[in-house]
Amino acid sequence: MSRLVLVLGDQLSPELAGLQAADRAADIVVMAEVAEEASYVGHHPKKIAFIFASMRKFAASLRAAGWQVAYSEFDDSENSGSIAGELLRRADQYEASDVVVTEPGEWRLIEALRDVPLKVEMLEDDRFLASHAEFERWAEGRKALRMEYFYREMRRKTGLLMDGDNPAEGKWNFDHENRKPAPDEVSFGGPMQFTPDEVVQEVLDLVEARFGDNFGDLRPFWFATDRSQARRALSKFIREALPKFGDFQDAMLMENRFLYHAVISMYLNAGLLTVMEICEAAQDAWQAGDVPINAAEGFIRQIIGWREYVRGIYFLEGPDYTRRNALTHDRDLPWLYWGGETKMQCMARAVEQTREEAYAHHIQRLMVTGNFALLAGIDPAQVHEWYLAVYADAFEWVEAPNTIGMSQYADGGIIASKPYVSSGAYINRMSNYCKSCAYSVTTKTGEGACPFNLLYWHFLDRHRDRFEGNARMGNMYRTWDRMDAERRKTVLSDAQAWLARMEAGEVV
Ligand SMILES: Cc1cc2nc3c(=O)[nH]c(=O)nc-3n(C[C@H](O)[C@H](O)[C@H](O)COP(=O)(O)OP(=O)(O)OC[C@H]3O[C@@H](n4cnc5c(N)ncnc54)[C@H](O)[C@@H]3O)c2cc1C
Ligand code: SF4
């Protein structure tokens, strides 16, 4: 009797555990574009188009390789609208009762699949370097789960950038050579862009008709939507941008949205690229002398370090992680996150680029939109929902720990040893946003003062009990305490007034 083999929209890899365990001659691959997955948050239209188009092409490649694929297009009249519903429908159609699934990257879907009244076998997703058991073993008994130590384990495990038992060029981490301010000119012309073919065009028309009202511009659409395109995009990055990746990793520029970033997270997360092919390509470029160690190491760390580590935390912490709110922040997400007018140049540009590209790089997410939400005390659940919706690479296992943990400190410090907050000075140092902003980054109070300056002290003051004793934050509190009392009072009342204007819907 045939079994059903479920392949989800972010499982588009021939080496997927479910496919490896299946019998190509007898089993039926089930793939489905369903309303429930496409609308449980208001996903960016580019993200939906990317996933649907990549799914259609992956299904075609499976058929060409001899698989029988039962594929439900979004508009099929019999499409039940949910993954569970489609499994039941196909079970009926093929008289199957056994289902093989590869574990989804979201508790919501794991729980939904456990409730399906069929015999569901759930296999661990082994496209990641660290299994759940391995991460749990690493985490057990540790007082603090710091990424750096986990990362070293992954270096040893993979042998990437290793010289026997030692790290290549003598150090595990070359970050002190990275993080230079924004350069005057960027030599990288940006990620490889692909002209939509017939399959993509058809999906774009569908998404326009069904999700045209969601936040985000569908066109121009230029993402890769199959493995061979994604590989070409990766090669271009390795050749043209990786050498400077480390140096300018944290910089932001008005005129350049991508700087030296890879823009491959959506491909990797959907399964079009593998962790090892990306990291080996970076290592090869370093070995060939084309890329300095600080760039190769910094880049590989993001993937085998941060990416694997945040996934470990998501599964370790369990289904309630997205509801954590350690700082009890409860302000509603302001309209400016959805494109409402704002005078803050940094926020306006980060949101504009998010709307147009479904992409912003890490520092824009962490130190602009994330920093602002944290300083302003926005409800982390709403912040989480926003990040999950607006980025093409957003899947809960990776988005939630980055948002709830790293960016909003809502998990109480599991991921971040201190909150990622900064005044306008950091944004000014790393970008050219402030030069053309209506606010003045050097003004600390009164008319025209940069809101990040006001809110920074407001944040530290209102969370003094929690952070005063944090060794990494002592300097900040000492600086605050050195200000004269009258000035401190003015900063706090200006911040309060500014927040009140934002809440009242004024353009701030
Ligand atoms: C609030 C917030 C939300 C985020 N949400 C997501 C998300 O939904 N999906 C997602 O893939 N990343 C997320 N990130 C991490 C990071 O911002 C993106 O992976 C990165 O910007 C993707 O762009 P890139 O491919 O150009 O990355 P590059 O800067 O070129 O880095 C290379 C690769 O490293 C990996 N990587 C880098 N940093 C991280 C990280 N912190 N966590 C996991 N992987 C990382 C990505 O796979 C990325 O493609 C988030 C970060 C923050 C602060
Ligand atoms: S002055 Fe402040 S609000 Fe304006 S761009 Fe700079 S940091 Fe952002």
CA 297 vs CA 232, 239, 284: distances in Å:
22, 16, 12
pLDDT in tens, 260-309: 999 999 999 999 999 999 999 999 999 999 999 999 999 999 999 999 99
pLDDT in tens, 65-99: 999 999 999 999 999 999 999 999 999 999 999 99
Q: DSSP per residue over 365-416, as a string?
A: IIIIIIHHHHHHTB-HHHHHHHHHHH-TT--HHHHHIIIIIIIT-TTSSSS-
**Per-residue pLDDT at 179 exceeds 90:** no
The ligand minimizing its distance to the Cα of 368 is 2
Sheet with 28-32: list strands edge to edge: 68-72, 28-32, 4-6, 98-102, 119-123
Query: Tokens at residue 369, please?
Result: 């939109």
Q: DSSP per residue over 6-24, as a string?
A: E--TT---TT-HHHHTS-T
- Which of 46, 244, 265, 420 is the best mutation target for the ligand 1 pocket, counting ligand atoms within 8 Å of the beta carbon and taking the most? 265
- Our answer on whether the CB atom of 437 is closer than 6 Å to any ligand 2 atom is yes
Mean pLDDT of 307-324: 98
Distance 408 CA to ligand 2 centre (A): 20
Amino acid sitting at position 309: Y
What integer pLDDT is reported at residue 418 of this predicted model?
96
- Categorize the per-residue pLDDT at 177 as very low, low, confident or very high, splitting at 50, 70 and 90: confident
68 bridge partner residues:
28
Q: From its phi and psi, is residue 121 left (phi > 0), alpha (psi between -120 and 50) or beta?
A: beta
Q: Give the integer Cα–Cα distance in Å for 323 and 488.
A: 33
- Our answer on whether the CB atom of 426 is closer than 6 Å to any ligand 2 atom is no
The ligand minimizing its distance to the Cα of 282 is 1
- Our answer on whether the CB atom of 456 is closer than 6 Å to any ligand 2 atom is no
Q: Give the integer Cα–Cα distance in Å for 7 and 127.
A: 14
The ligand minimizing its distance to the Cα of 448 is 2
pLDDT in tens, 181-204: 988 889 999 999 999 999 999 999
In the three-class reduction of DSSP (H, G, I as helix; E, B as strand; rest coil), residue 130 is classed as coil
By alpha-carbon position, which residue is closest to atom 2 of ligand 2? Answer: 450
Distance 336 CA to ligand 2 centre (A): 15
Helix (H) or strand (E) run with residue 29 in it: strand 28-32
Q: State in Å, rounded, how far the first CA of the chain is from the last one.
A: 64
Tokens 């941060």 belong to: 306
- Categorize the per-residue pLDDT at 1 as very low, low, confident or very high, splitting at 50, 70 and 90: confident
Q: DSSP per residue over 307-345, as a string?
A: IHHHHHHHHHH-GGGGG--TT---BPPPGGGGT---S-H
pLDDT in tens, 199-214: 999 999 999 999 999 9
**Per-residue pLDDT at 327 exceeds 90:** yes
Residue 227 in contact with residue 234, Cβ under 8 Å?
no
Distance 266 CA to ligand 1 centre (A): 9
Tokens 């555990």 belong to: 17
pLDDT in tens, 347-404: 999 999 999 999 999 999 999 999 999 999 999 999 999 999 999 999 999 999 999 9
Distance 404 CA to ligand 1 centre (A): 14
Query: Tokens at residue 332, please?
Result: 């509603």
- Categorize the per-residue pLDDT at 441 as very low, low, confident or very high, splitting at 50, 70 and 90: very high
- Our answer on whether the CB atom of 372 is closer than 6 Å to any ligand 2 atom is no
Q: Mean pLDDT over all residues of the chain?
A: 97
What integer pLDDT is reported at residue 501 of this predicted model?
97
- Categorize the per-residue pLDDT at 176 as very low, low, confident or very high, splitting at 50, 70 and 90: confident
Tokens 């390795």 belong to: 238
Q: Give the integer Cα–Cα distance in Å for 114 and 120.
A: 7
- CB neighbours (10 Å) of residue 352? 14
Using the atom order of ligand 2, give the atom closest to the CA of residue 440: 1
pLDDT in tens, 117-169: 999 999 999 999 999 999 999 999 999 999 999 999 999 999 999 999 999 99
Distance 438 CA to ligand 2 centre (A): 8
Closest by CA to 458, choosing from 433, 507, 421, is 421
Query: Tokens at residue 70, please?
Result: 């039962």
What integer pLDDT is reported at residue 184 of this predicted model?
86
Q: Give the integer Cα–Cα distance in Å for 495 and 455.
A: 6
What integer pLDDT is reported at residue 157 of this predicted model?
98
By alpha-carbon position, which residue is closest to atom 6 of ligand 2? Answer: 434
